[in-house]
Structure 1
Amino acid sequence: MNIQRNELHAVSTGRQTLEEWMYISKKIKKYTDCFHVREPLWSLEELRTAIEFLQKEGVAPEQIRLNIPEEKRSCFSGTGFHLKEAAVQKPEQSLITGWSVHSREAAREKEQAGADYLFFGHVFSTASKQDLQPRGLQQLSIVARESHLPVIAIGGITPEQVKACIRSGAAGIAVLSGLYEAADPEQQACAYSTKLNKEGK
C-alpha cells in the first residue's frame, strides 16, 4: 500500500462527541488525505457510524484508520488500522497498518513486524504531553533516513512547522487538536494543506 508524499492525517482527539467529530471532519475532508478514528471509549455502534459517515463522504476504505483497543479490532474489516507502539501483532484484516513509534529502535522493530508506515513523535511540545520532552527534528530526521517506510511526523505541529518536518524527511504530518480544536478547522486544514503542497506534494 503506497503512501503519497506530504500527506495530511487528521487524528481524532477523544474529546469531541461523535456528532462534533463528524461535523468537523466534513469541514476538513477536502484537505485531508487520511482520517484516524482514535476513540477507545466509543462504542462499536459509534465506531461503525463513524466509518459509515466517512465512506458516505467519499473517503476510500484505505484512507480510514482505526486506532482502537485490541478487543474491538476483530469487529471491523475493510479499513486500515493504526497501532500503539506496545502492540505486537498486525491485524490480519487490515488494508493498511501503521504503528506509532518513539525511537529508531522501535521503528526498526515495527518495520520488521510488517508496518506499512510509521508515526513518529511527538516532534514538538504539545499540551497533551507537557511532562515529556519532544523528540525534535533531529530524531525525526534520523528515523526517516534509516527507515524504509514512510514516516509521518506527529505532535504539536503548526502550519508554520510543516516545512521543517518535510525537509527532515517526513512523508507527511498528523494533527489532532490543531484541526479538531481549531477556531476554524476548515481554514486551518487549508493552511496545513497549502504548506504541504508547497513542499512538492
Structure 2
Amino acid sequence: MLTTGQQKLTEVAHIAAACPTALVDVLHIREKQHGAREITDWYAQLQPLFPSSAIYVNDRLDAALAMQAPGVQLGYHSLSVRLSRLILPAAVRIGCSVHSAAEAVEAAGQGADYVMYGHVYESGSKPGLAPRGIAALAAVVEACPIPVIAIGGITLERVDEVLSTGCSGIALLSAILLHPEPAQQIIRYREALNQTQYKPRRGYH
C-alpha cells in the first residue's frame, strides 16, 4: 500500500487506526511534495499503526536512514540503484520504479531487490497517460530476474488477471486510502490475493 500524496498525515493516521493493518505487507510513504523532516514525521506517526508491516520510504534516502527503514523505493529522479546501494546498509531492500523490461533488467543488474512496474491499467494518479497493459507486464515479469510488483488501476476484479502474469504482488494507492471503506478494501484485496490460483514467478520475501 502506498500513500497518495493527496492527504494529510492526520487523515492517513486516522484511516490506518481503523484498519486491519496486519493484512498490509508493506506501507510505502510516497509523499513527493514533502522534505526529509516531514517524511520522518510521517514515518514516526505511522509506524505504531502498522506494527506488522514493513514501512518503506520513497526516494528520500536521508529520511530512510534516519528512521532505519527496512526498504526504499527509487524513482526516475532518485539516485541510481548502484549509488543507493553504496549508501544504504546491506539489509535495506531497494525497489525501483520501472516502465519497461529493459529498465527492469537494468535495475536488477545494479542490485535492486525488486521492481515496481506500471501503470498497468488506467489510473487516476496518472491522468492522460495511456496504460501499459497486461501483456507488457507479463513481458517484464518474463525478462526480469527479480520480483516484479504491479501498480496502477488494479481493481478487485483485475487482481487475478494481474497475478496470472507471474508478478510477485500488487501495489495500491487510491483503491485503499481514497476509498470510502478502506478497512473493508484491505480485507477484500487480501482475500483476493489469498484465493488466487496463480503463483508468483519469484517470491517477494
- TM bucket, shorter chain: 0.7 to 0.9
Q: Does 1:51 align with 2:43?
A: yes
Relative contact order (alpha carbons < 8 A, sep ≥ 6): 1 or 2 greater? 1
Q: How far did residue 24 of structure 1 move? A: 2.0
Q: How far did residue 158 of structure 1 move? A: 0.6
Q: How far did residue 129 of structure 1 move? A: 1.7
Q: Is the 8 A contact 1:154 1:173 kept in 2?
A: yes
Structure 2 spans left out of the alignment, 5+ residues? 200-205
Residues 83-136 of structure 1: per-residue CA shift (max 9 Å, x gap)? 003431325325111000000110011001110011000000012223211111
Cα distance, 1:28–1:68 mapped onto 2, change above 3 Å: farther
Structure 1 spans left out of the alignment, 5+ residues? 1-9
Mapping for residues 1-201 of structure 1, pairs under 5 Å: 10-26=1-17, 27-57=19-49, 59=51, 63-69=54-60, 75-87=66-78, 88=80, 89-91=83-85, 92-93=87-88, 95-199=92-196
Q: In 2, distance between residues paired with 1:174 and 1:189?
A: 12
The runs of at least 4 consecutive aligned structure 1 residues that moved more than 4 Å come to: 69-76
Q: Which amino acid aligns with 1:25?
A: A
Q: Is the 8 A contact 2:40 2:66 kept in 1?
A: no
Q: Which amino acid aligns with 1:135?
A: R
Q: Is the 8 A contact 2:159 2:192 kept in 1?
A: yes
Q: In 1, distance between residues paired with 2:11 and 2:112?
A: 31
The residue that corresponds to 2:203 in the other structure is: none
Q: Which amino acid aligns with 2:12?
A: W
TM-score between both structures, scaled by the size of structure 1: 0.85
Q: In 1, distance between residues paired with 2:193 and 2:6?
A: 26
Q: How far did residue 23 of structure 1 move? A: 1.9
- Would you say how many aligned residue pairs link Structure 1 and Structure 2? 191
The residue that corresponds to 2:202 in the other structure is: none
Percent of residue pairs identical: 33
Q: Is the 8 A contact 2:149 2:168 kept in 1?
A: yes
Moved more, 102-111 or 41-50: 41-50
- SS of structure 2 residue aligned to 1:11: coil
Cα distance, 1:105–1:130 mapped onto 2, change above 3 Å: same
Q: How far did residue 30 of structure 1 move? A: 2.3
CA RMSD of aligned residues (A): 2.1
Q: How far did residue 28 of structure 1 move? A: 4.3
Q: In 2, distance between residues paired with 1:176 and 1:84?
A: 16
Q: In 2, distance between residues paired with 1:196 and 1:36?
A: 19
Q: Which amino acid aligns with 1:170?
A: C
